[in-house]
Amino acid sequence: MSIIQIATPFNIDLEFEIAEFHKRLLAYFIDFAILIIYLIMMKNLYYGRFNSISENMLKSHIGLDILTISFPMLMYSLVSEVLMHGQTIGKKIMKIRVISLEGGEPTLGQYLLRWMFRAWEWPFLFGYVFYSGQTIIAYAFITGFLGILVVIIIGVTKNSQRLGDVAANTVVV
């Protein structure tokens, strides 16, 4: 298990265990599952079921979809990490969290920077793109493929950081 030492302005070194990869991966899958369940529930609420969505119905409800489905999905990680002190629901279940490399909770700017880099790691093809259940499966595979790049970056960085963590000067412990 890797340990990171963070020097504070008071000349006190704090030691944290860097989150194990399997815990981070499981937290990611939990969060992803939460978002897919949310997507399915909202689409069922609006349209009854995926296969009954007509193109005209979809076009007439696109603003509602963006506002009530896509926007919350897009903001999930940022809002939950800010409100839950560096944790999403998946991270909370796995007992891991994000901290700043300066020692302590990240600033709002650091959370924003981490979140901006998540865009290519966790592509949010807006909820209104999904015409069927098969499209969700394709979405999951695309996200999984891009996740391989994230795994490689985590594997080669010194503190097992993803690109967003490196840019924001944060680490998951």
Higher pLDDT, 119 or 92: 92
Higher pLDDT, 172 or 137: 172
| Whole-number pLDDT of residue 41 | 86
Reduced to 3 states (helix: H, G, I; strand: E, B; else coil), residue 16 is strand
Reduced to 3 states (helix: H, G, I; strand: E, B; else coil), residue 6 is strand
Which one, of 16, 68, 72, 17, lies nearest residue 43 by Cα? 68
pTM, two decimals, is 0.83
pLDDT tens digits, 43-52:
788 777 655 5
How far apart CA 33 and CA 28 sit, in angstroms, is 9
Higher pLDDT, 77 or 40: 77
Pairing between β-strand 98-100 and β-strand 13-17 as defined by DSSP bridges = unpaired
Of 3-7, 60-64, 88-92, 122-126, the one with minimum mean pLDDT is: 122-126
Average pLDDT, rounded, for the chain: 83
